[in-house]
């Protein structure tokens, strides 16, 4: 299924009166605060977030999975689904692939399809957290950190193979999330496991093309419940520093212990030039993989405050950091969920752009916590939804992406095309 320009225009036409009223009211309000609304709308319009190939089907838990029907059964259909999201919001023009779940068989044909839909390829993800059929050695006791050099070599070779697939598609980054660790005290020598991981990553880095980066993701627990080899940003940063300029840290919002100050981590990584990428999601307790902004929108805003503060503006935000979603759960239509996530991310970005930086800086300098809080709250409490809508309309996207998704019965159409019992590859 494809969404046509006419369908978008028709939908936008119906919303135009109400939208124009709310947008001009907000634009006047912001202009009176000396904010350049045109610049703001352009910044919002050009900010894009990549869609993970593994989030396009129903997510599951280890207890069960409830298919939603019409799930993409292969990589081509996944790219078509991202094409639908991008047609609706014009902010999701890239897909992040997971190998081997989405191994591109015919790179030329995949590139052609992606080009037709204005989709590019963001970071490619390796997978050494599960065994594949006919795999020679098992990752049961680790991969890049394994005690056996033969297992490590297999895992290194897999990562290098993933780079090759990515190169054929124009990707510029490899994300390594390592599930390695230990389930019980005493099982693993912490130092030796980290040292072996470093050596394996060094070999992977040596195979990286010059214009690529490797993003090192961290996670405090799960699947290992006593220790993870790369449990936190400090360990990731330590490895990235040792590995050199191509290695950077990837922050996955769900990969922190409860109440961790993620915005401070972001700020410090930016200071060190080591913030390489983001996996957006939200969580209540742990790695819940919930819709971004559904639980802690203020935290998301504070993170964007640091991102805007720590970069010189839009260009840096776009050029140096990979923006990706990493979420998957059991109950929503994944396409609607991804539309909500992208919207929440862009909303937080827009709110952070509204912060009066000079006023905030003065409040900090004069040790005025009340004034500083007022600066943040003023931006956070502004209803900037008309700005996002304006940015979408100008980009050729739908004024109300989820509304149009439902009006066009996209899910029913996909079920008609693909059947009700297709299952997307992934978790
Ligand atoms: Mn992640």
pLDDT in tens, 217-252: 999 999 999 999 999 999 999 999 999 999 999 999
Task: Name the band, by pLDDT with cuts 50, 70 and 90, for residue 330.
Answer: confident
CA 252 to centroid of ligand 1, rounded, Å: 5
CA 47 to centroid of ligand 1, rounded, Å: 20
CA 257 to centroid of ligand 1, rounded, Å: 14
**Beta-bridge partner residues of 214:** 174, 247
Domain annotation covers residue 423? no
Mean pLDDT, to the nearest integer, of 86-111? 96
Tokens (6 digits) for 327: 């979420």
- Our CA angle for 57, 63, 67, nearest 5°, is 25
Task: Name the band, by pLDDT with cuts 50, 70 and 90, for residue 329.
Answer: confident
CA 414 to centroid of ligand 1, rounded, Å: 27
User: What's the confidence (pLDDT) of residue 427?
Assistant: 61
CA 326 to centroid of ligand 1, rounded, Å: 5
* In the chain, % of residues over pLDDT 90: 91
Domain annotation covers residue 427? no
Domain annotation covers residue 198? yes
Q: In this structure, what are the phi and psi dihedrals at residue 251, rounded to the nearest 5 degrees? A: -100, 115
CA 320 to centroid of ligand 1, rounded, Å: 18
Domain annotation covers residue 208? yes
Domain annotation covers residue 246? yes
SS3 425: coil
Q: Is 114 exposed, middle or buried (0-12, 13-18, 19+ CB in 10 A)?
A: buried
User: What's the confidence (pLDDT) of residue 318?
Assistant: 54
Integer angstrom CA distances of residue 151 from 161, 178, 180, 409: 15, 14, 12, 48
What is the domain extent for residue 300? 5-418
Q: Is the pLDDT of residue 183 over 60?
A: yes
Domain annotation covers residue 426? no
CA 12 to centroid of ligand 1, rounded, Å: 35
Mean pLDDT, to the nearest integer, of 307-332? 80
CATH of the domain at 20: 3.20.20.150
- The pLDDT tens digits of the residues spanning 10-67 come to 999 999 999 999 999 999 999 999 999 999 999 999 999 999 999 999 887 878 888 8
CA 125 to centroid of ligand 1, rounded, Å: 10
Q: Is 285 exposed, middle or buried (0-12, 13-18, 19+ CB in 10 A)?
A: exposed
Domain annotation covers residue 98? yes
Alpha-carbon gap, residue 377 to 352, rounded angstroms: 10
Q: In this structure, what are the phi and psi dihedrals at residue 14, rounded to the nearest 5 degrees? A: -65, -25
- Tell me the pTM: 0.96
Crossing angle (nearest 10°) for helices 410-418 and 75-89: 160
Total domains, the chain: 1
Spell 234-264 as b/e; 16+ CB within 10 A means b.
ebbbbbbeebeebbbbbbbbbbbeeeeebbe
Domain annotation covers residue 315? yes
Alpha-carbon gap, residue 305 to 266, rounded angstroms: 10
Residue with tokens 């050199």: 244
- The pLDDT tens digits of the residues spanning 407-419 come to 999 999 999 999 9
CA 220 to centroid of ligand 1, rounded, Å: 12
């Amino acid at each position: 299924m494809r969404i046509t320009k006419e369908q978008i225009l028709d939908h936008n036409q119906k919303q135009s009166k109400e939208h124009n009223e709310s947008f001009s009211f907000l634009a006047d309000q912001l202009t009176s605060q000396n904010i350049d609304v045109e610049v703001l709308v352009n910044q919002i319009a050009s900010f894009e977030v990549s869609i993970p190939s593994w989030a396009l089907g129903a997510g599951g838990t280890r207890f069960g999975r409830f298919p939603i029907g019409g799930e993409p059964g292969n990589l081509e259909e996944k790219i078509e689904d991202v094409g639908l999201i991008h047609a609706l919001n014009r902010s999701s023009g890239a897909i992040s692939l997971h190998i081997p779940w989405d191994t591109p068989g015919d790179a030329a044909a995949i590139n052609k399809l992606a080009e037709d839909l204005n989709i590019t390829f963001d970071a490619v993800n390796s997978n050494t957290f599960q065994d594949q059929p006919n795999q020679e050695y098992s990752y049961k006791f680790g991969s890049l950190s394994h005690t056996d050099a033969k297992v490590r070599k297999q895992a290194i070779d897999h990562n290098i193979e993933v780079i090759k697939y990515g190169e054929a598609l124009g990707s510029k980054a490899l994300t390594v999330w390592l599930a390695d660790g230990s389930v019980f005290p005493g099982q693993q020598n912490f130092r030796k496991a980290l040292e072996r991981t470093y050596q394996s990553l060094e070999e992977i880095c040596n195979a990286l093309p010059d214009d690529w980066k490797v993003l090192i993701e961290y996670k405090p627990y799960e699947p290992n419940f006593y220790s993870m080899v790369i449990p936190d940003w400090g360990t990731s940063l330590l490895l990235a520093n040792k590995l050199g300029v191509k290695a950077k840290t990837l922050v996955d919002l769900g990969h922190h212990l409860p109440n961790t100050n993620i915005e401070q981590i972001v700020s410090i990584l930016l200071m060190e030039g080591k913030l390489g990428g983001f996996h957006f999601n939200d969580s209540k307790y742990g790695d819940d993989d919930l819709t971004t902004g559904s639980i802690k929108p203020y935290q998301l805003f504070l993170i964007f405050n640091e991102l805007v503060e720590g970069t010189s503006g839009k260009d840096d935000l776009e050029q140096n950091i990979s923006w990706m979603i990493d979420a998957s759960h059991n109950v929503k239509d994944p396409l609607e969920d991804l539309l909500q996530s992208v919207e929440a991310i862009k909303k937080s970005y827009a709110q952070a752009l509204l912060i009066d930086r000079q006023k905030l800086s003065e409040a900090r300098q004069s040790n005025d916590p009340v004034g500083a809080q007022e600066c943040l709250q003023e931006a956070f409490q502004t209803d900037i939804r008309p700005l996002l809508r304006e940015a979408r309309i100008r980009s050729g996207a739908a004024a109300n992406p989820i509304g149009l998704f439902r009006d066009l019965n996209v899910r029913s159409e996909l079920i008609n095309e693909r059947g009700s019992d297709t299952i997307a590859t992934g978790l």
